[in-house]
Structure 1
Amino acid sequence: MKKIIKLAGCLLLMAIIAASCKKDKMPLNLNLSPVGALATPNDNADVKLDPTGSASVLFKWDAASTDDGGLVLYEVAFDKQDGDFSKPVSKILSDGAGVQTQLTISHKELNKIANAAGIPSSSTGKLKWTVIASKGTNAKPASASRTLQLERPAGFAENPVDLYITGSATEGGTDLSKAVKLKKIEDGVFETYTSLKAGDYYLTDKNADGGKQYYIENGIIKEGSQTTSVSGDAKAYRLNFDFTSATTKSVEIQSIGLYMSAYGKEIGTLNYIGNGVFEAPKVAVEFYQFDWGRDERYKFILHTAAGLEYQGSTNPNNVAPAGQPASYFYLVPVTNAQWDNTYKFDPSADRKNVKVDVMLQPAAYTHKVTVL
């Protein structure tokens, strides 16, 4: 009997536990009405895009409503002028991770969307936009949409992260794996010191198959598989490609002079040897004797087809090079002031020959002096 009572008690306890674990299953309320009126920007608003600045456009709308006041997420959808939003070119969550009834979008991002919608650079075109409200799996677009007229500047909506130059006119030839990598000066702006010879070249964002390709036409950078032709003898150049404005610059670098301040003249000439390197294999160095001691200061002069350019130290005044970090030898544009932004030879270079290399490569613009 005791066993029966005990078993009955256990069964009763299990029934109570099971009953307490049962949860009331309430149907999930996904009822949702679309957003109300679209507030800003006005229909057919005209925006002149400046993707290089900090300008933005504010989109605002009236909130959607729900039966239970639950959380609603919002996305702004963009489509081509004749699109129906079935396959929008872009959808972006509203501010606050999608919960606010507004979206702040930069000119840079709008420029990308305009590009995706087929609006070319340096032209004006229209986008449609609307707001999609969603609660769970229930998504409803607004009943209305508006048009935005965008004026795109020259330049690319998406700047390459890396840039290479390749082709028969280049130092790496047609082997894409040996393409010459450019130095990234700032976002969308690339530069290289390299040689070009008769042949052709193109730019690419990868030194392997599958990269985007670019070519130059009348000084303008364009995307495509065409090439740019080069004629004449091999020469060293500084090439600059600015994707923010789709423009390019080139200048021939004829040589680099080793300028010694105390003499006020160049004491050696560095010629281009390839891979962004200019070299003077043997230069006689003798420090200048002043009453207070011997002067060892120097910097560099670039002889270009457009004139002279001075390159020197970031420091107005320098100490001896021994024990200094690699940045001591970095090269930056400087003035032609006789004594400013100079380096100092190591004391062991006095009355000796030195080998001087200027390396203008993606890793750093720097130089090295080796006492022979």
Structure 2
Amino acid sequence: MFLFFGLPFLACFHENRPKTEDRQELYFQVIHVPYFYIMKKINAFFHLVALLFVMSACEEKDNIEPVGNWELSSAVLGNPAENATITLDETKPDATVRFEWGAAMSSKNYGVTYKLVLDSAENADFKTPILTMATGDAGKNQFLTPTATQLDQALSAAGYDANTTVKLKWAVIAQSLSKESVSPSKTVSITRFAHETHPTTLYISGSATEKGTDVTQAIQLRPLKDANGNQTHVFEGYTSFTSGGTFKIYSQQNAQSLVYGAANGGGLRKNGTAIAAPGAGTYRVTVNLNTNTYSFLKIDRWSMVGSAIAAGWGGDEPLQYKGNGVWQTSVDIEKTEGFIFRANGDWGYLMKRVKGTTNQLVMESQAAAGTFEDIPATAVGKHIVTMNLNGEQYTYSIVKDETVTPPAAMPDKLYLLQGGTVVAELVKDGTTFKTNGFIALEKSKTYTLNAANDGSGTAFTTTAKVGETTTPDADAVTVPVDFGTGSAPIAVTRDQAYQITINFATGKLTWKYYNIKLFHWDDAGGGWDARNEYLMTYKHPYTFEGTFALKANYDLKFNSPWDVQFGSNGTALSGTMTNGGPNFKGVTQAGTYKATITVTPDYKTAEYSFVKQ
């Protein structure tokens, strides 16, 4: 806007808008500016002059196409020709059948991709095709060459029997951006392989199964193989069923899977009706695709049998079913000898270890002679034994059982024993027992806790070794572990003097030991921050030692900060120190010294020595 003295100003605003139906509109807005008042001399008068300018607006052309204002033609089908016949040869499973077509065109020359669809000739459209395949080169190729096996398996999955001729139709779906076109179809007759092709994997899913009706969670069956490792087309799996439910058998864990169900006259067929569960319980399911049959074996129990356990070969140790084909038990292994797994107490159903493996299992009756063996137990004591009959390979595991049964009652007395000898009688205080001071324990020995001093009372044990820690060199090391009834011996990770506290209310045993460090610093020179902290080595019983370079007239103390602070005002290089005593200043000559300190079980006093080397 420009202002002119004594004149009005005309402002013109021009607005361009997109063209609509080849019309254009001009918009003008005139702003009338009032008179400016001009004073001349003493008598002022006002003049108002209005001047109107008409300005034309410039035209701007709209070149934006309306969305979707373009076309996508259909592909033009080529071979196979209308009413062509194709016979699939099972002796040439990798032979291909070529489908080809002419290009579909976008009126704006946008890129086009293709996919082949194949369906029953009776279906009105291709909304649920038997086969859908995208072409190569990211879908741009105008041909596709599925193999005989791919076509045969698609027809098999659709429920067509082997050695039958199926009348089909095929078409090509072209896609460009958001547009899609389906070509006119052509009919083609395809004859399947003379013999049925079997899937290499099978799964079960349904309301009766552990995983329910979600096919993506279907339970895998194990494919059985012959002595040469070839597929037998027989599958089995161990699972539980609910009463009144049903299931079907799938070749894949998805909706495009080949589906098997019950045939009208019994047995198995593709797209059959849902199979009724045999009843509530745990079963072995066997599916034989060679004979189109299925069967169930009820599993009342799996057990351990063998000389490794107390019952030996004449009894058994039952395992509990945990779900998903897994059985488990906690058992005392008494000998490092062999055992096997047996179903239903029947010697005809034995699981043994596959020779040459560390944990693989095989049913003896399904394996070649000489390829299996008894399962070896490699350690005695309480162990968790697991048998996993899930998936393609059955396995087992044996791990030490670190769990304990919480104590049912608190005894009046509690003793720590080693080989029948009382090491310590623990002191009772409310719901806890505690050692009277620190007890020197050895790694080379095992210990027991018992309510009687001769070991005849209730026995107690822990879930872990005493002294087992990830920070063995910390100042005061303490760890709580689960504690309960049990006769398993208590092992010790390292020689040390331990304080043991047992809380029957929480079911925890807490052990504690001290590491001793020799502190060495120039106290008079203000050298505390530059001190040495020499970690000493524990020697059974109650002794700590180490060889260190010491300076003359430095202050010394044996510490486990800050519970333990042994010192003395004496100056002799050997003698007695007290916990909380003054700094020791007895080293008056610099040199290398072997420092030794032997503490009392209550850590109140200690005997020390410094021997110059």
Counterpart secondary structure, 1:2: coil
Q: Structure 1 residue 126 and structure 2 residue 162: aligned?
A: no
Q: Structure 1 residue 366 and structure 2 residue 404: aligned?
A: no
- Taking the aligned partners of 1:108 and 1:306, their CA distance within structure 2 comes to 43
Counterparts in 2 of 1:157 and 1:121: CA distance versus 1, 3 Å:
farther
1:270·1:356 contact (CA, 8 Å) conserved in 2?
Answer: no
- Taking the aligned partners of 1:188 and 1:21, their CA distance within structure 2 comes to 74
- Taking the aligned partners of 2:384 and 2:306, their CA distance within structure 1 comes to 12
Aligned to 1:79: 119
Q: How far is 1:311 from its partner?
A: 1.9
Counterpart secondary structure, 1:147: strand
Aligned to 2:334: 285
Counterparts in 2 of 1:307 and 1:270: CA distance versus 1, 3 Å:
same
> Given the alignment, which residue of 63, 69, 88 partners 2:102?
63
Q: How far is 1:61 from its partner?
A: 1.0
The one-letter amino acid paired with 2:190 is L
1:45·1:148 contact (CA, 8 Å) conserved in 2?
Answer: yes
Residue correspondence of structure 1 range 11-90 to structure 2 within 5 A:
11=14, 22-23=62-63, 25=65, 28-30=69-71, 32=73, 34-39=75-80, 43-47=84-88, 55=94, 57-64=96-103, 66=105, 70-83=110-123, 85=125, 89-90=129-130
- Taking the aligned partners of 2:148 and 2:102, their CA distance within structure 1 comes to 25
Counterparts in 2 of 1:267 and 1:40: CA distance versus 1, 3 Å:
farther
Post-superposition CA distance 1:23-80 (Å, at most 9, x none): 2649955263641521599921112579xx9958444213236477653343323232
Question: Of the two, which has the highest radius of gyration?
Answer: 2
2:305·2:342 contact (CA, 8 Å) conserved in 1?
Answer: no
The one-letter amino acid paired with 2:222 is I
Post-superposition CA distance 1:241-284 (Å, at most 9, x none): 367985436568797563459xxx94753457666677899777
Counterpart secondary structure, 2:114: strand
- Taking the aligned partners of 1:11 and 1:277, their CA distance within structure 2 comes to 82
Aligned to 1:191: 237
Counterparts in 2 of 1:313 and 1:160: CA distance versus 1, 3 Å:
closer
- Taking the aligned partners of 1:13 and 1:279, their CA distance within structure 2 comes to 81
Counterparts in 2 of 1:105 and 1:5: CA distance versus 1, 3 Å:
farther
Residue correspondence of structure 1 range 102-121 to structure 2 within 5 A:
102-105=143-146, 110=151, 113-114=154-155, 119-121=159-161
Residue correspondence of structure 1 range 250-289 to structure 2 within 5 A:
258-259=305-306, 266=313, 269-270=316-317, 285-286=334-335
Residue correspondence of structure 1 range 121-200 to structure 2 within 5 A:
121-122=161-162, 124-132=164-172, 134=174, 137=179, 139=181, 141-142=183-184, 144-151=186-193, 154=196, 162-163=204-205, 166=208, 184-185=221-222, 189-192=235-238
- Corresponding pairs, count: 320
1:300·1:310 contact (CA, 8 Å) conserved in 2?
Answer: yes
The one-letter amino acid paired with 1:131 is A
Counterparts in 2 of 1:250 and 1:103: CA distance versus 1, 3 Å:
same
Q: Identity over aligned residues, as a percent?
A: 11
- Taking the aligned partners of 2:200 and 2:302, their CA distance within structure 1 comes to 36
2:77·2:171 contact (CA, 8 Å) conserved in 1?
Answer: no
- Taking the aligned partners of 1:142 and 1:153, their CA distance within structure 2 comes to 33
2:114·2:175 contact (CA, 8 Å) conserved in 1?
Answer: no
Post-superposition CA distance 1:294-325 (Å, at most 9, x none): xx243425479794655227864x6xxxxxxx
The one-letter amino acid paired with 1:63 is G
Greater relative contact order structure (CA < 8 Å, 6+ sep): 1
Q: How far is 1:110 from its partner?
A: 4.0
Q: How far is 1:239 from its partner?
A: 2.7
Aligned to 2:247: 203
- Taking the aligned partners of 2:191 and 2:360, their CA distance within structure 1 comes to 47
- Taking the aligned partners of 2:108 and 2:329, their CA distance within structure 1 comes to 80
The one-letter amino acid paired with 1:300 is I
Aligned to 1:99: 140
The one-letter amino acid paired with 1:258 is V
Q: Which runs of 5+ in 1 are unaligned?
A: 207-211, 287-295, 319-328
Higher strand proportion (structure 1 or 2): 1
2:114·2:142 contact (CA, 8 Å) conserved in 1?
Answer: yes
Aligned to 1:293: none
Counterparts in 2 of 1:40 and 1:103: CA distance versus 1, 3 Å:
farther
- Taking the aligned partners of 2:347 and 2:85, their CA distance within structure 1 comes to 47
Counterparts in 2 of 1:299 and 1:359: CA distance versus 1, 3 Å:
same
Aligned to 2:2: 2
> Given the alignment, which residue of 224, 244, 251 partners 2:273?
224
1:297·1:339 contact (CA, 8 Å) conserved in 2?
Answer: no
- Taking the aligned partners of 2:111 and 2:182, their CA distance within structure 1 comes to 14
Counterpart secondary structure, 1:114: helix
TM-score computed with the length of structure 1 as normaliser: 0.55
Counterpart secondary structure, 1:311: strand
Point out the more displaced range, 29-38 or 182-191: 182-191
Alpha-carbon RMSD across the aligned residues, in angstroms, is 6.0
Aligned to 2:497: none
The one-letter amino acid paired with 1:203 is F
- Taking the aligned partners of 2:321 and 2:171, their CA distance within structure 1 comes to 56
2:248·2:274 contact (CA, 8 Å) conserved in 1?
Answer: no
- Taking the aligned partners of 1:24 and 1:195, their CA distance within structure 2 comes to 64
